[in-house]
Chain A
């Protein structure tokens, strides 16, 4: 089962080519992360899939339909979290969920959504009294209240403190375990790594790398060994870390030296990402 299929998708704004022909597929139940610096085309892509923008070229299929021609039945199956929070400040959390739930044929119960997004203590508080992170969780709740098969999350945790981010991740993992397909854009690498089954890195309107976070980082054969010698940081990249480490430590033990701050690390998704998106 496939939730999203994109082929040769292109979009230009005047003379600026925002998307230069991208392809990807997302399976049902998968969490797919769209990564890239600002201006790479993440929001353009997600808004075309949501049906907000028209494409210039290519084919797009979301839950079996073309978003440009999709109808009400299609919107029943979809949840959308926009990049900025969009809420009624004078309603309570519960009232907001009831109003938006009423737009769907078989909505989730407001109380159930409140539990999913962790706003139980704020259920009857006015939206304007919520913190930024709580508002963002209500945004997510409004996207979930229709019981969607597919959820679009455009930078769902931008501006969160670390605690709020962990809580949001937990919510997104819960959703995944309920079988919801999720397309998420983010510029936090750890977020993509933690949540996504697969990741695509966008750069200047093209997908420059695609795969699971492990595949992306596994593609790089080099391991880094770092330590300090006489106070200076030494960084070695090697394709043969076992042997190299043995040599280093054996030599150090023999001479009674300490390899201060010794560290052996695999490239993180962040290293790969920075390399892929570096301006050259």
Chain B
């Protein structure tokens, strides 16, 4: 427990010290929220049941945020640490591997939680978006997203073999996913082929679930189908993580 707390503090220091990573994973969703909500915050979105643009976007940026922090940020960090030999070095210390991995995950979840709170606070203060009423359902939604996308984030590390390529490969996966999944624009207005792609992506279902809970005041369990899709993707990520996660760099 002491070791876990020690490592969690270390991970927080490491995350906030790394300015570029903190910008892309933590601040970018916040900045996009500020920009896009200023542009169409007051527009009503017909294809999403006439909700306000700012409300639509607030839930969307939580979805974008979970992909940025728990999936992309976590995956890039782990690949770089693995390839630079840091994971290998940690393996030689008495720090138990489960304590290390749990602390890395917990630190990622802390960052995502702060991001979600910040987005909701900005929505309330600058764009008059009411704070979601169903707080327990909201917490459940954040937890489901954090766990499933982190599983996918660890899972993809086995497919990326070099530190140099890690951010290019992972950004190429998650940025198009974030856009197609409707975090910025409603997928209901997309052409047919994009909608087909969107229906298989976990972030589409996750963003829908987030909107239903945050904007439409639904309980988290009202859409088991969406939870199931995100959960299955999470399990695929977990299986890939168990198979592909490694402590030692890929040898050249």
What residues make up the interface of A, taking CB atoms closer than 8 Å to B? 50-52, 72-73, 75-76, 78, 80, 82, 84-88, 90-91, 95, 99-100, 102-105, 142, 146
- Give Cα A102 to B3, complex, Å: 7
Complex alpha-carbon distance, A72 and B94, angstroms: 5
By a CB distance below 8 angstroms, the chain B residues around A78 are: 92
Q: Is B14 located at the chain interface by the 8 A CB criterion? A: yes
The chain B residues found within 8 Å of chain A, CB to CB, are 3, 6-7, 10, 13-14, 17-18, 84-86, 88-96, 248
Interfacial chain A residues near B92, Cβ < 8 Å = 50-52, 75, 78, 80
Q: Which DSSP category, helix, strand, loop or mixed, fits chain B's interface?
A: helix
State the main secondary structure of chain A at its contact with B: loop
CA distance A52 to B88 in the complex (A): 9
In the complex, which residue of chain B has the Cβ closest to the Cβ of A104? B94
Residues of the B chain whose Cβ atoms lie less than 8 Å from the Cβ of A80: 89, 92
Q: List 23 A-B contacts (CB under 8 A).
A: A50-B92, A52-B92, A52-B248, A72-B94, A73-B94, A75-B92, A80-B92, A82-B85, A82-B89, A86-B84, A86-B85, A86-B86, A87-B84, A87-B86, A91-B13, A91-B17, A95-B13, A102-B10, A103-B6, A103-B94, A103-B95, A105-B94, A142-B89
Complex Cα gap A90–B92 (Å): 22
- Given A87-B86, A88-B86, A90-B18, CB of A52 within 8 Å of CB of B94: no
* Top-10 shortest CB links A-B: A86-B85, A90-B17, A80-B92, A103-B95, A103-B93, A75-B94, A102-B6, A99-B10, A72-B94, A86-B89
Instruction: Collect the chain B residues with CB atoms within 8 Å of residue A75's CB.
Output: 92-94
Contacts of B85 in A (CB 8 A): 82, 84-86
Which B residue sits closest to A152, measured CB to CB? B92
Distance, CA A87 to CA B80, complexed state (A): 11
